[in-house]
Amino acid sequence: MSLTCIPIVKPLRITRQIYFGLVMMLGVFVYSPAQAQELDGAALEELALRGTWVAEYRAMGIWSWNEDKTVCYRIGDTEGECYDTGSWVINENVICYELTWVSPGYRKDCFTAQALGDGRYETIYYGTAMTSTFFYFKVLE
C-alpha cells in the first residue's frame, strides 16, 4: 500500500507548489498597481507647490519647491536658512533639480514621484540604468 501512496503524494505536492507560486505571482501583479501610482506632470507640480517635502530618512533632506522654480534644500529643520539652493523644472512627469554647491554626486538629478497612500510618496531616479528609489517623503502643508 505504501508503494501506491508515494506516486499520489508527490504529484499533489508539486501541484500545491505550482498553485502557491501562481497565487503569489497573481498577488504581486494585482497588488502592485494599486499600491503605487506615478504622478503626471500637473500632479507633480501641484505636489511640489503644495508644501515642504520632508524625507522619511532625514539625511535625504527637506525640500521646498517655489513657484519661481527655485528650490531650497535643508537638512534637519523645516525652517531657517537653506543648506543649498538651486532651480527645478518639470518635463512631462519628471522633475529635475540642480543645486548650487552641494557634492557633485548629489547636486543635479531627475526623478518621478508616485503616491503610496496615507500621505506618503516615493521618488524614483529617472534616466539611470536601474530603477531605484531616491527617497520617501510626506508633505508639510
Comparing 30 with 132, the larger pLDDT belongs to 132
Q: Are residues 20 and 49 in the same domain?
A: no
Judgement on whether residues 66 and 30 belong to the same structural domain of the protein: no
Q: Are 50 and 24 in a shared domain?
A: no
Give yes or no: residues 52 and 91 share one domain. yes
25 and 45 share a domain?
no
Phi-psi region of 9 (alpha: psi -120 to 50; beta: other; left: phi over 0): alpha
Mean pLDDT of the 10-16 span: 50
The stretches of 36-102 forming alpha helices (DSSP H) are 41-50
For residue 60, the 8-state DSSP code is G
Residues 82-115 have pLDDT tens digits of 999 999 999 999 999 999 998 887 899 999 999 9
Quick check: 98 and 86 in contact, CB under 8 A?
A: yes
The answer, yes or no, to whether residue 62 has pLDDT greater than 90, is yes
Shared domain for 116 and 47, answered yes or no, is yes
* pTM of the entire predicted model: 0.71
Q: Do both 65 and 117 map to the same domain?
A: yes
In angstroms and rounded to an integer, the radius of gyration of the C-alpha atoms of the chain is 23
Please give the C-alpha separations between residue 70 and each of 17, 64, 105, 122, in angstroms, as whole numbers.
Answer: 54, 8, 20, 21
Q: Supply φ then ψ for residue 126, to 5 degrees.
A: -120, 140
Number of domains the chain is built from = 2
Residue 48 and residue 100 in one domain: yes
Same domain, 43 and 72: yes
Number of C-beta neighbours around residue 121 at 10 A: 20
In this structure, are 76 and 111 located in the same domain? yes
Domain that holds residue 46: 37-140
